[in-house]
Amino acid sequence: MKRHLTGVIAAGLTVTLGLTGCSKGSSSGDSGDNKTIRFVAAIYDDKTKSLWDSLIKTFEAQNKGYKVNLEMVDWTQMDAKVKTYVQTKQTPDILNYNAFADFARDGLLFPTSDVLSPQVSSDILPSFVEGDKYKGTQYGMPLLSSVRLFFYNKDIFKKAGISAPPKTWDEVKTDAQKIKDKGGKGVFPLGLPLGAEESQAEFFMWAMNNGGGYVDQSGNWAIDSQANVDTLNYLKDLSKSGLTQPNPETTDRKDVFNQFAQGKIGMLNGAVFMPAGFINKVNAKLPYAIAPLPTKAGGTPSTLGVQDFLVAFKNNGGKKKDAVSKFLNFFYQTNNVANFQKEEGFLPVTKSAGDVIGKAVPYDKPFIDALPNAKFYPTGNAAWGPLANTVKEKLGTAITGDPKSVLSELQQTAQKNG
């Protein structure tokens, strides 16, 4: 009897485990194949997935036996996913992300020289390469770049009686007040997205035009600097005075971009891809104009330059290097990369693509002109990845809390991680 029951249990267990074992075996068959790669890409807008899909289709047709499994991840979920993938050793073969240095530090990445042909490597615009390196070796491959400028709605400005876009913070405030008073019902004067999606960018744009930022002249972390504290106090005051959309601390960038496209926001720090990604879908005739970012006291405006990367993970002891390299070199062919960036409305990152796009899109000119004054994130610092995530998560709380203590907490996070 005893034996009987145990026998039954043993049989049952064997069956169940056998079944599940099979389902694992068959499904992991593809990941054991060195010609199949997993590519995690970020969603920039509605078109992103179809752009990658068609690129992958062409690639697979040109390279028989190779296969790319695409997984699209939204930016609002990207950080948590990447963290989880990295920590649970489920890294994709190629990842489209905005940080890489801590992965490089821990030896998880292929140096670009391992996966990109010399031809492609030398095609990358030199202004980006510096931000692609960790300790002198290039690991990041720029996928696209963006420059941020100040966008305003001409109709709303006219209604509020504002003749020119604000150049200083004081003007931002008085103009915002005018919009609040006369700009129309349901219009928010200033869009200020300090929610978890991109608060590290919004904060940086205001801070850099007050002489602040993430690092000081010598490259040391300076997040709790007085200039940064003043910046947040200024933004906090704007929000308190009802000059921004409600709850900046929980508002994501996409929300204000959408509202701007719908004509519900007077002005904001916009991005080069805003027309392609947001405005044209809603109202291609939106009467907007572009200006430099306002500065604290009216000095030379700086702007934020952003490059997002592709990085290649050394999975399975690097056995997929060949497949990864094939796909990356395919993607960086002039037409492919130029088409991708043009469709997404971003700025080119390679010389050859720049030549193609530069002639085709006049809209890009002010952004390309702003590039020399653009400041980039300290992406080459291994602490940047963890820091950026923490900033996204916590910075918004300064709007309702104490800016100084929020910033000093972030400073500690930065120092702790490198």
Query: Which residue lies nearer to other proteins by CB, 79 or 175?
Result: 79
Question: What is the Cα–Cα distance from 268 to 290, expressed in whole angstroms?
Answer: 10
Place of tokens 């088409």: 339
Calculated CA dihedral for residues 240, 294, 284, 189, nearest 10 degrees: 20
Angle at 146 between CA 140 and CA 148, to 5 degrees: 135
Stretch of residues binding other proteins (CB under 8 A), selected from 82-90, 117-125, 290-298, 358-366: 82-90
Side-chain half-sphere CA neighbours of 248 within 13 A: 29
Query: Which residue lies nearer to other proteins by CB, 334 or 397?
Result: 397
Residue 5 interacting with other proteins (CB under 8 A): yes
**Footprint of other proteins on 211-250 (CB under 8 A):** 246-247, 249-250
Site string for other proteins, 18-57 (x = CB under 8 A): -xxx-xx--xx--------------x-xx-----------
Question: What is the Cα–Cα distance from 72 to 244, expressed in whole angstroms?
Answer: 32
Instruction: Dump strand ranges (E) for 163-318.
Output: 188-191, 265-271, 288-291, 303-312
Question: What is the Cα–Cα distance from 43 to 64, expressed in whole angstroms?
Answer: 27
Site string for other proteins, 356-395 (x = CB under 8 A): -----------------------------xxx-xx--xx-
Instruction: Dump strand ranges (E) for 123-180.
Output: 133-134, 137-138, 141-153
Query: Which residue lies nearer to other proteins by CB, 230 or 249?
Result: 249
- Tell me, by CB under 8 A, how many residues bind other proteins: 69
- Selected from 54, 77, 226, 283, the binder of other proteins by CB under 8 A is 77
Burial 129-152, CB ≥16 within 10 A → b, else e: bebbbbeeebbbbbbbbbbbbbbb
Using CB under 8 A, list all residues that contact other proteins.
1-2, 4-6, 8-9, 12-13, 16-17, 19-21, 23-24, 27-28, 43, 45-46, 71, 74-77, 79-81, 83-90, 102-103, 105-108, 195-197, 246-247, 249-250, 252, 254, 385-387, 389-390, 393-394, 396-397, 400-401, 405, 409, 412-413, 416-417
